Amino acid sequence: MKKASKNEIQEIKKLFLEKYANARTELQFNNLYELLIAVMLSAQCTDKRVNLITPALFKKFPDIQTLANAHLDDVRALLASCSFYNNKSKNIITMAKDVMERFGGKIPLERDLLMTLCGVGQKTANVVLIEYQQANYIAVDTHVFRTSHRLGLSASLTPHATEKDLTHIFQDNLATLHQAMVLFGRYICKAQKPLCDLCFLKMYCKTKNNFKPT
């Protein structure tokens, strides 16, 4: 696969920032607690599904303390329509207990500390910090991975390595670029039947192959 040139990278970056200047996550939340839970639930699950699940969850467990004291069966019942709901139910309760016991009930806003919480990997931590405080990170989900490879921005085989590539070539405005690439991949550069006629980056496309992270 041909790699994007330095000039192409700058043009792609410029167009992403212009087209998606005010892009935000489609997950619905009101505070840091709700954001963290929503992002944790969104792993291998659509944002639309998460948004259907979380209102009842947040009504019953409105904060970290109530979630930390929750019964597993109660949480499982509320997450039953979410992918991997058994593991996610256990993870969010354990995460809440971690926050209560280790951080005095306050969710840490340092990436390294966030990643010590149960169920919070680097991608989840990045997304939380991107959305909550526009941190200069980029998170690589399936949409970002696919579009990165189709545009020749990365040839790496894993999300983590792709994140390193994108961070290196873009350097700044990563929070906006992250959301831009998510929305671009979700609605234009789709895995199946990409909308090439509507694509504002088609002149930089290297392939229509559907790349999947390993």
What sign does the dihedral 68-125-55-33 (CA atoms) show? positive
How high is the pLDDT of residue 214? 74
The 10s digit of each residue's pLDDT in 55-67 is 999 999 999 999 9
User: Cα–Cα distance between 17 and 183 in angstroms, integer?
Assistant: 12
DSSP conformation class of 194: -
Q: Which two tokens stand for residue 105?
A: 């009930």
Residue 78 three-state SS: helix
How high is the pLDDT of residue 138? 96
Q: Which residue ranges of the chain lie beneath pLDDT 50?
A: none
Contact (CB, 8 A) for 151 and 4: yes
